[in-house]
Structure 1
């Protein structure tokens, strides 16, 4: 097959959330169909790109804190495109975060193919496994990870689930989080963030979200912070600072070292005030 035919076939792909998110934040790993959907969302609310960036920033902060605490195994569920803000890039480009294992899971074959074509990471001690799979069958996903020996599930692992759970309905979301806990050991972590409904929810934004759901055949469930504990169930225990606005999450630290004045933080108001929440949770001890 010629490059031109391959390109034509690629461009026939429908828009996908992973590539739309990439386009929303100015990434280069997307197609015209993805950019059109992203632009419709931005036309409805220009702050959407900052809201996505808030989720990325939370994930980065949480990963740095966990790496400092000794975590060396990561499962990135709904990893998206491997762009400048991705978990893959953070670990691959910074040997200071230590070696370890990273599993990247996404249902978009373009995202996984792109990841597989990247050059070896600068962090030579990082071992990366890519898995093309959806999250509606978490038992199959975790079984595949185990069979590939991608991570040692008998040792602590951090599961990254940032800005992803909205693509699952309530039943699937609860099932996913409960199933994940079954496969990992005590001492493991969940890095979870979720978009919530902006205030106010404008008619143009509501229409743009409806169009997103229709054209991608994907759920986009906006959940409020008070839904976090029912989602976490009894398998996950929130750690300080608890369930907070995604743009205001910070790693736990002594009170005299904490930055309480949000106006001093180095990002725009739209990012600090992003519609969404975040939580770092640890795996609850097994029930006896």
Structure 2
């Protein structure tokens, strides 16, 4: 166990947050996480590219929201902090922006607390995103988020970790209902619509982790937006959503492996 490992964390059981951290070049992961990531790379060789394109989508979505006047963000399933965190992007674009990170993984929360020490406009709450009422009522959420004002909801690569038994559509609906008109929802989600993504192999590989994955079709992903209005270009793949000069576009958009979009509550 390392100095940044909470006592309740079992380093022998791979975690999606730590695998993602490893794929992005981070250091807050263990041998079992790296071994599992290598297995993912064996079945899906471009999985690290998928992770990087997803992280780039997050950046562009936050900047888009900030340009639209959003000054408070709720990041669901935020994971382990790495380069380009939401509060860094938002507070640089719009100083004073407030950010609440939500995750239940111990290392993600512990490292976030270290990173956010002294930042009065950012906090992390350790909650299960499938229990929206607990997330919305958490002290950190209530301190920083004014739900009478527009909120930027971020659900980037969290939906595909929600099993059908948790009612993902209902979970997303609860968050959408809690925010004011003018709020934005950004999400990305693994899909098995594309022949280039070996969804069955990824699902099988992830069974040995704390986090199974549940790829969904485009129609199912669209349900998570509810009656929010998608902004152009709609629901596309990660590198296809408002690419900029820094976007590493896929040779084939289907290689992104994830649907991505941003929608607004009218």
Q: 1:150 matched to which residue of 2?
A: 144
CA contact (8 A) 2:13 2:210 kept: no
Q: 1:84 matched to which residue of 2?
A: 83
> Structure 1 residues 116 and 243 mapped into 2: Cα distance closer, same or farther (>3 Å)?
same
Aligned pairs for 1:184-199 (under 5 A) are: 184-197=179-192, 198-199=194-195
Aligned pairs for 1:62-211 (under 5 A) are: 62-91=61-90, 95-118=92-115, 120=117, 127-144=121-138, 148-170=142-164, 172-197=167-192, 198-202=194-198, 206-211=200-205
Shift of 1:10: 5.4
> Structure 1 residues 83 and 150 mapped into 2: Cα distance closer, same or farther (>3 Å)?
same
**Helix, strand or coil for the counterpart of 1:242?**
coil
Q: Which deviations, in whole Å up to 9, do the C-alpha atoms of 1:131-183 show, x marking residues without a partner?
A: 01111211211121577422111111101001110001245210111100221
TM-score by length of 2: 0.87
CA contact (8 A) 1:153 1:183 kept: yes
RMSD, aligned CA: 2.8
Q: Which deviations, in whole Å up to 9, do the C-alpha atoms of 1:201-244 show, x marking residues without a partner?
A: 54xx63343131x222433111122223322223x221222111
> Structure 1 residues 209 and 135 mapped into 2: Cα distance closer, same or farther (>3 Å)?
same
Q: 2:256 matched to which residue of 1?
A: 274
- Bigger radius of gyration among the two: 1
> Structure 1 residues 38 and 85 mapped into 2: Cα distance closer, same or farther (>3 Å)?
farther
CA distance in 1: counterparts of 2:204 and 2:251, whole angstroms: 23
> Structure 1 residues 106 and 266 mapped into 2: Cα distance closer, same or farther (>3 Å)?
closer
Q: Which deviations, in whole Å up to 9, do the C-alpha atoms of 1:40-81 show, x marking residues without a partner?
A: 101222201111112111111111111122211000000011
Q: 1:256 matched to which residue of 2?
A: none
TM-score by length of 1: 0.81
> Structure 1 residues 80 and 109 mapped into 2: Cα distance closer, same or farther (>3 Å)?
same
CA distance in 1: counterparts of 2:2 and 2:54, whole angstroms: 36
CA contact (8 A) 1:54 1:271 kept: no
CA contact (8 A) 1:79 1:86 kept: no
CA contact (8 A) 1:53 1:271 kept: no
Q: 1:237 matched to which residue of 2?
A: 229
> Structure 1 residues 41 and 88 mapped into 2: Cα distance closer, same or farther (>3 Å)?
farther
> Structure 1 residues 64 and 281 mapped into 2: Cα distance closer, same or farther (>3 Å)?
same
Following TM superposition, the consecutive aligned residue runs of length 4 or more in structure 1 with deviations greater than 6 angstroms are: 6-9
Number of equivalent positions: 262
CA distance in 1: counterparts of 2:177 and 2:157, whole angstroms: 22
> Structure 1 residues 20 and 53 mapped into 2: Cα distance closer, same or farther (>3 Å)?
same
CA distance in 2: counterparts of 1:14 and 1:228, whole angstroms: 29
